[in-house]
Structure 1
Amino acid sequence: MSTALQNRRPVITGWSAVSPHGIGAEALVDGLRAQKSTGAPLDTGRWRVPAGRAHLVPGFETREVLGKKGTRSMDRVTGLAVSAVGGLLRQPGSVRETETGDRAALVLATTTGSAASMMDFTRSSLEGARPYDVDPAVMPNAVMNCAAGQCAIWFGIKGPNTTLAGGRAAGLLSVNYATRLLSSGRADTVLCGAAEEFSAARYWLERHSRGAEAPDVPLGEGAAVLLIQPAGSIGQERPALAEILAVRSRVAVGNQARGALEACVRAALDASDVRPEEVWAAVPGEAPGRLGQVERDVLTELCGSEATTRVPAVSRLGDVSSASASFQITMLLATADARPESAGRIALVTSADRDGSLVCAVLRLVGA
């Protein structure tokens, strides 16, 4: 590793995912390479939703994937998160002494945690003979930070443990939070990810809150996790994949979103000392409806249409909501790994949430 890289900003040194392409990083890479479709008809009997399509993790059953010990009452979003973190820590080159323990942190992005668990627990209180006639084993699942806590317990991650609820913007907000943990000396390593489950509760919430712009965009699910470390502390076991140059955010809704998003992107590029024409890949978050089109238009105008088409669209996985940005980054890294000309090039990743959060991250891809 060069001295110049060691003196620069935090770097991403590993990633893993549980996606509609399957469990593990290799499944996502193979699926992207083969351009496989991940949408499939829903089992209406199991999910209690109208007939339609969704992008589910194939064959994912928490107890079958993680085993029976400690999973009897584990909900789906927690199972997805634990599986993704475990996949990262089991990769060749993993150094458990630094990636777990007191100096390792975990940051997990979400929308609300598990909407299904929250609604089921509340329903049991309303339908029982008494309000407190509930299953106490299910109660932790109704807390938004349950998945992050379970990941820490399963793998001995004893540093800061944070859950960030920010909708589609949560993944990039968690990357920013991870860099702050490192720069402030609160951690030496951060496992930074996001998880989103499919459930009847989430289906109906989305159906009634999206409005007329994108009523039929199928939902997706999955979890993706990045390993973020200071550049000076990495070794040959996990070489740097990308350097995090800057993360910037804005808040705007309606007709103000376009101007605010452009200002956000320009601010992130300026902080990185990068010109728009230097961007090799621009990866939008593909929000359903008009906002997603605004996001793509802004990136196309600033960086060119070629940059916006180099990385497969995250919408191929369905609407994965809070996990979108984490999947955008993993798909970027998977694409760059297969394209040697990407070494040293600039990539930017954006997120736009319908509640007004706009975020842009600028990365420098690192060659082998």
Structure 2
Amino acid sequence: MTVRINGVGLALRGVSKPADLLADIPVGEAPPVDPAQRLGARGLRYKDRATQLALCAVRDALSDAVESDVEGSGDGLTAVVVASVTGNLGTVCAVTSTIAQEGTRGVSPMDLPNASSNVVASSVAIRFGLRGPNLTVCNGNTSGVDALFWARSLLESGRARRVVVVGVEPAGEASQRLLGGEVLDGAVALVLSREGTGARIAGFVRTREPAACLDELRTPDLWLTPGPEPTRAGVVVRDVNTVFGHAAGALGVLQCAVADEWLRANDAATAVITAGDPGDVVGGCLIERGQVERGSS
């Protein structure tokens, strides 16, 4: 079965449209995304930053998608899969600290829903009326690639007609202590479906080394991978972490959006994205260029 990228939405510093993913923008100097400015303040109160960023990206991805329905499908066939390592970590740390110091009576009832690891995915589904399967993938640096895999599985099995895939990592004291350095502080959303003419999600592999993914998938035109990797003749290699900050669980989804835009902008055929921990588990995904321009972007 063919699985296509039919919509892209971005909530990233210094980025206003998919083409900006390839531009030489000083992202570190750009102001943080202001969800209230983009969505309006209504409905954002008591929601953590990861949820707010995801809502911004999903709104734009649904608007960008072919046959879009921003208010939701209402048919139970639109799924949500979220990839994040530190999504609600700040809330969890705050709640546990309060319980340790004051007991459970000191915890605000408005904070407790945000302590669930699935709060981003469920909030997206509620906001946009997406009634299909709902899943959060939070298994480390391969989370983004794994989210794409599970999205394709939902489509191939017929459990969903389309899947909204979100990668999100918020900046904050807790996430910076865990990940170190600059954190992404943003969200990327993709709309995948079984129809359309956008870029194709063509295959997946799990190995122990990033370079081995190319051996099992294909030598591509573009290789998106974190960290230093040996160059290969004719292959452009990029590390988006150096541009946008440590993307952690959101990396695979961000890489997929960058690959989609790069393939169309350069009239290239294939890209491979790899993410994970070399020597342990690395996930790879092959992306093939679509037939025509996708959506309104």
TM-score (norm 2): 0.89
- Which structure is richer in relative contact order (CA contacts within 8 A, separation 6 or more)? 2
- 1:218, 1:318 within 8 Å by CA — same for their partners in 2? yes
- Hey, what's the Cα distance between the residues in 2 that align with 1:335 and 1:364? 11
Which structure 1 residue ranges, 5 or more long, are not aligned?
1-7, 41-56, 208-216, 235-239, 251-256, 287-291
Partners of 1:197 and 1:315 lie apart in 2 by 16
Report the aligned-residue RMSD. 2.3
Hey, what does 1:352 align to over in structure 2?
276
8 Å CA contact 1:112–1:144 kept in 2: the answer is: no
Give 1:302-321 correspondences, 5 Å limit: 304-309=232-237, 313-321=240-248
Equivalents in 1 of 2:39, 2:22: separation in Å? 25
**In the alignment, does 2:2 pair up with 1:9?**
yes
Task: Say if 2:296 is the partner of 1:323.
Answer: no
CA contact (8 A) 1:98 1:104 kept: no
Matches within 5 A, 1:258-297: 258=209, 261-267=210-216, 269=217, 274=218, 276=219, 279-284=220-225, 286=226, 292-293=227-228, 296-297=229-230
Match of 2:168 in 1: 195
State the alpha-carbon separation in 2 of the partners of residues 331 and 111 from structure 1: 20
Query: 2:295 is matched with which residue?
Result: none
Equivalents in 1 of 2:66, 2:202: separation in Å? 25
The secondary structure found in structure 2 opposite 1:108 is strand
Computing the radius of gyration from Cα coordinates, the structure with the larger value is 1
Matched residue, 1:44: none
- C-alpha change, 1:265 and 1:229, in structure 2 (3 Å) is same
Instruction: Give the counterpart of 1:226 among 178, 187, 190.
Output: 190
Instruction: Look up the SS of the partner of 1:193 in the other structure.
Output: strand
Q: 3-state DSSP class of the match of 2:64?
A: coil
Name structure 2 gaps, 5 residues minimum.
293-297
Q: Is contact 1:21–1:31 with CA below 8 Å preserved after alignment?
A: no
Q: How does 1:11-30 map to 2 (within 5 A)?
A: 11-22=4-15, 24=16, 26=17, 28-30=18-20
> Deviation above 6 Å: which 4+ runs of structure 1?
none
Aligned to 2:261: 334
Q: How many corresponding residue pairs?
A: 291
Q: Which has the higher helix share?
A: 1
CA contact (8 A) 1:248 1:264 kept: yes
Structure 2 counterpart of 1:133, from 76, 88, 106: 106
Given the alignment of the two structures, is residue 96 of structure 1 paired with residue 23 of structure 2, yes or no? no
Alpha-carbon separation, structure 2, partners of 1:171 and 1:323: 5
Q: Distance in 1 between matches of 2:65 and 2:166?
A: 19
User: Following TM superposition, by how much is the alpha carbon of 1:98 offset from its aligned partner in structure 2, in angstroms?
Assistant: 10
| CA deviation after TM superposition for structure 1 residue 325, in Å | 1.4
* Cα distance change, pair 199–264 in 1 and its aligned pair in 2 (3 A): same
The alignment-based identity, stated in percent, is: 24
TM-score when scaled to structure 1?
Answer: 0.73
Aligned position for 2:97: 123
Secondary structure in structure 2 of the residue aligned to 1:39: helix
